[in-house]
Amino acid sequence: MTLREILAQRDAIRVELRSINDAHPDGALPPDVQDRVNAIEAEAVTLNATEQRLALQADLDRRAAVNPVEPVRRESRGAPVLRPGEVVGLLPEQRMADLAGAPAEPLSLGRMIRGHLLGDWSGADGERRAMGEATGAAGGFYVPDTLSATTIDLVRNTAILTRAGALTIPVGAGTTTFVRVLTDPTGQWRTEGEEIDESEGSYGPVTVKPVSLAALVRVSVELLDDVPAFAGQIEAQISAALALELDRVGLFGAGASSEPLGLYGVTGPTDISMGTNGAAPTDYDEWLDAIAALEGINAVPRTTVYSPRTKRTLSGLVTGISGNKTKLPPPAEFLALNRLVSTQIPNTLAHGTATTASVAFVGDFSQMAVAVRQNIVIEASRHAGDTFAKGQVLVRAMMRADIAHMRPSHFARIKGIIA
């Protein structure tokens, strides 16, 4: 059975169920009609399962056919190589640690912090060698490039943006400019000797200048001293805090002096409205409209990201037939999307008179990039605030990052989603 056949059969089921509902508005069904409804429900479940399998296969085939960037080149020894001045976008599955030439045995930021604070480097010989004399001002220290890259990979693995498909672009100090496509050129059939018309493909610059992103973590000295494995918790806390803020800024950054501009505020995406004052989804039509709008400009909608509340609303959709709680099967186009949930998408947006609206993003997140510098600075204090009295340490991690929107038109925003 093909997806087209499934859609046709589902339409027939919907028409039949609607007819039954119209004939019995009070929901009281005769036994033979109830038997037919039960059979239709079973048929819908089977169709849904078949559709999910076909959608998964179609998604895997599509992903295999499209590779947004050229894989990073490697020398014979396996170390990645960049030419001078070259800009590379790392796919979500590619590691910055490979680009930095990290050792085969992974280094740990948590073990490095523990060794630096307590002077106890047991089990952390690799971190001690890597750290060397990388001590900065105010009791801080610069994390070596190889460990910085590993830590940034932890942040990337946690961030929804990376899981959605956003590229990671390692950059140096100052401003970095690279090229993005503004409009695609077009081809033309021609006869021998015929002049070729000039197409309207155009390109423009994207400029990134990473700004400071910091996270502050409070740590008990006793836990650091008594529980060596707790070093991993510091690492997880720092990477989660940085990842959450990257997600927030990538989606909702204000674009002010110290904050990059997020996808919600950028110019170019298609906006799909849930109505003047917002509304709760009753089906998947807005997602289908977003997919159709993007495919209409040759974009490839791969991912949708929404809030946990929106996920719950979509999961609870029913057919709408009176007295019937059968779940509404999502269409194949929706199932083919990589569906992600982010707590950084608020449910308190204004939309008309509504103040509890949310938004969903649909698009090709490989057309967004997080530009990062490899250097991370760690500072620790036992005297800031009340830490000395409480036997605690404040650990501050700082990295520099920026958000680049290569093709904003390859995204859509579904606005005004109410629970």
Please say whether the beta carbons of 146 and 230 come within 8 A: no
Q: How many domains does the chain have?
A: 1
pLDDT computed for residue 3 by the predictor: 66
In a domain, 16, yes or no: no
Going by the DSSP 8-state scheme, the letter that residue 365 receives in this structure is G
- Residue-wise pLDDT for 360-403, tens only, equals 999 999 999 999 987 778 777 777 778 888 888 888 888 899 99
pLDDT computed for residue 407 by the predictor: 92
In a domain, 81, yes or no: no
In a domain, 270, yes or no: yes
What is the mean pLDDT of the segment spanning 17-39? 84
Regarding pTM above 0.85, the answer is no
β pairing state of 354-363 and 167-171: unpaired
Domain carrying residue 174 = 88-183+200-307+342-419
Closest by Cα among 53, 50, 61, 41 to 5: 50
- Residue-wise pLDDT for 137-188, tens only, equals 445 566 777 777 777 888 888 899 999 999 998 887 778 777 777 777 777 7
pLDDT above 60 for 192: yes
What is the mean pLDDT of the segment spanning 340-347? 95
In a domain, 329, yes or no: no
Rounded distance between C-alpha atoms, residue 403 and residue 206, angstroms: 10
Which of 26-35, 117-126, 184-193 has maximum average pLDDT? Answer: 26-35
Helix ranges (DSSP H) in 133-174: 145-158, 160-164
- Residue-wise pLDDT for 94-112, tens only, equals 877 777 666 666 677 778 8
| Residue 247: Cβ-neighbour burial (10 angstroms; 0-12, 13-18, 19+) | buried
Kindly report the CATH number assigned to the domain that includes residue 132.
Answer: 3.30.2400.10
Q: Which of residues 190 and 75 earns the better pLDDT score?
A: 190
- Residue-wise pLDDT for 12-22, tens only, equals 888 888 888 88
In a domain, 35, yes or no: no
